[in-house]
Amino acid sequence: MLLKCAVKNIKRSKLMSVLTVCEMTCAVVITLVMVSSVMIRFRNYTPFRDMFESNGLYCEFSSAANTDFYGENKAEDFIADDDILQFLHSPESIAACNTVSCGVQGDNGLLEVNNFSYNDEVIRRFAPKLKSGRWLKESTKADCIECVVSKNEYGWEEGSSIQIDLGEKKYTAQVVGVLEENAKLPGGFAVHSTGDDFNVFFNPYSCEIEQKPLIVFSSQYLQKLGAVQGLFSGCLITYPDSVTKDQLKEDQQTLAKFGCAYSMPLTDLDKNSKLYLYRHLYDMLPIIIVILVLAFVSSVSSSALTMRTRLKDYAVFCICGMRWKQCVLIELIRSAVLAAVSIVLSLAAVSVVSKRFSISIVWSGISLVSIAALLLMFLLVSLAAPYFICRASTPKQLLGQY
């Protein structure tokens, strides 16, 4: 009964209903886009947040870390991520990328590829964007040599097998996932400045730019097989709170002897990172306020106007036994129906906008909470206007006006 009355109200005020749906659809779409833009910035920061906030160092190795860096720089002298920790002042953990001395066998001989590996610290925390398949498992959970590949011309895809030569033995690696082109991976290089933030730790990989496909392995799994690996590109090294600034400076000098071309304290990196993140959030705040105000005004105007045009009908309903609360409930149901229509249209609009303009929409708990809060505000305001209008008069007074 109440639902039917609500639907009739929508039909009798078609123009106002259409305007309300359009305004709510726009508000939801803009909210999703803004929340997504903020979430995208946090996407790479969040997995390593506790490391960024720790005492430690961000380091970049221009070539593989090597015990004989100033000498012949042989691959046999490469130092892998976990091995370099023994030369430092009791570090707790390292998140790092390694280069792997690994031959990849094709039908016509060795193939031109880049071979990277990540330790379990990175694999557990972070998964890049994938075109298909899944990310690597930690070394203790993998039952074979897993690898993730980039876009390639060799026909590698999820489920493919790749023949690799680790020096003493040859093995078969199983492709479990394929990276999206330009997917960001830990271990970046950057033109550095005093404002370096967490983005320097990530680097997009493009097969077209590198002119070589990439194969990513688990470094600790390869270590069990005796593979030669060298710490390469950017890494995060964390320490306990007891570490001193002098010890960190000593370790920076030690790392430089192994090929570290650049390093900075994580405290500085994290400070710059939070400035970068929250500056974007502050930029978005005025837009968010404007959207909320527009949605609020639209809800009040729509509900009040619809209630005013239907007061005579509601007065008759009350004379026939209906309560004012039920009349207000009809308006609430009307608003809920319009909100449901807005959600459907918003999802369709978001799909079109994301594909048409290449805008990434991040679906997360925060996105859903933001939409839910917007709709809840719309419903509460839609309920408030009719409630106060009804309280201002009695059914008998209203009928006397007509």
Q: Report whether pLDDT(321) > 60.
A: no
97-101, 165-169, 256-260, 265-269, range with the lowest pLDDT: 165-169
DSSP character at residue 78: B
Can you give the pLDDT at residue 201?
93
Would you say 215 and 162 are in contact if contact means Cβ atoms under 8 Å apart? Answer: yes
What is the spatial distance between Cα 288 and Cα 310, in angstroms, rounded to a whole number?
33
Structure confidence at residue 382 (pLDDT): 72
Q: What is the pLDDT of residues 27-77, one digit of tens each?
A: 888 888 888 888 888 888 999 999 999 999 999 987 888 887 766 666 678
Q: In this predicted structure, what is the pLDDT of residue 401?
A: 52
386 has pLDDT over 70: no
Residue 367: HSE in the Cβ half-sphere, 13 Å Cα cutoff: 18
**153 class by beta-carbon count within 10 Å (0-12 exposed, 13-18 middle, 19+ buried):** exposed
What pLDDT is recorded for position 187?
A: 86
Q: Is the pLDDT of residue 229 over 80?
A: yes
H or E, element range at 58: strand 55-61
The whole-number pLDDT of residue 16 equals: 75
Say whether 144 sits in a helix, a strand or coil.
coil
Residues 6+ apart with CB under 8 A from 380: none
pLDDT more than 90, % of the chain: 39
The answer on pLDDT for 293 being more than 70 is yes
pLDDT of residue 176: 97
Torsion angle, CA of 214/218/220/223, rounded to 10 degrees?
Answer: -50
Q: Which residue has the higher pLDDT, 373 or 10?
A: 373
In this prediction, residues 163-191 reach a mean pLDDT of 89
Residues 203-212: contacts with CB within 8 Å, 24+ apart? 203/233, 203/234, 205/150, 205/179, 206/181, 206/182, 207/150, 207/151, 207/152, 207/181, 208/151, 208/181, 210/114, 212/112, 212/113, 212/114
pLDDT at 97 over 70: yes
Burial class (CB in 10 A: 0-12, 13-18, 19+), 229: buried
Residues 6 or more apart in contact with residue 271 via CB below 8 angstroms: none
Q: What is the pLDDT of residue 309?
A: 66
147 vs 325, higher pLDDT:
147
Region at 109 (left for phi over 0; alpha for psi -120 to 50; beta for the rest): left
Those residues whose C-beta lies under 8 Å from the C-beta of residue 289, and which sit 6 or more positions away, are none
pLDDT class of 123 with cuts at 50, 70, 90 = very high
**pLDDT (tens digit, 9 = 90+) per residue, 359-383?**
677 777 788 888 888 888 877 777 7
**Average of pLDDT values for 289-306?**
72
Where residue 178 falls among pLDDT bands split at 50, 70, 90? very high
Output the pTM of the full model: 0.77
- The DSSP symbol for 225 reads T
DSSP 92: -
Domain locations in the chain? 2-44+275-401, 63-258
Tokens of 85: 């920790």
For residue 206, the SS3 value is: coil
Contact between 75 and 230 (Cβ < 8 Å): yes
From CA 78, how far away is CA 315, in angstroms rounded?
A: 86
State how far the alpha carbon of 122 is from the alpha carbons of 71, 125, 139, 176, 220, in Å. Answer: 31, 5, 11, 17, 11
Q: Which of 20-29, 261-270, 302-311 has the lowest mean pLDDT?
A: 302-311
Residue, of 332 and 49, whose pLDDT is higher: 49
pLDDT at 19 over 90: no
User: What is the distance between the alpha carbons of residues 103 and 106, in angstroms, rounded to a whole number?
Assistant: 10
pLDDT number for residue 28: 85
User: Given this model, what pLDDT does residue 313 score?
Assistant: 60
Q: How confident is the model at residue 237 (pLDDT cuts 50, 70, 90)?
A: very high
Q: Give the pLDDT band of residue 279 (cuts 50, 70, 90).
A: confident
The chain-wide mean pLDDT, for the chain, equals: 83
pLDDT surpassing 80 at residue 182: yes
Q: Give 105's pLDDT tier (boundaries 50, 70, 90).
A: confident
The torsion angles phi and psi of 101, rounded to 5 degrees, stand at: -80, 95
Name the percent of the chain lying above pLDDT 70.
82
Greatest Cα pair distance, the chain, in angstroms, is: 102
The contacts found for 373-379 with CB under 8 angstroms, 24 or more apart, are 374/27, 374/28, 374/31, 374/292, 374/295, 375/24, 375/28, 375/339, 375/342, 375/343, 377/292, 377/295, 377/296, 377/299, 378/24, 378/295, 378/299, 378/335, 378/339, 379/332, 379/335, 379/336, 379/339
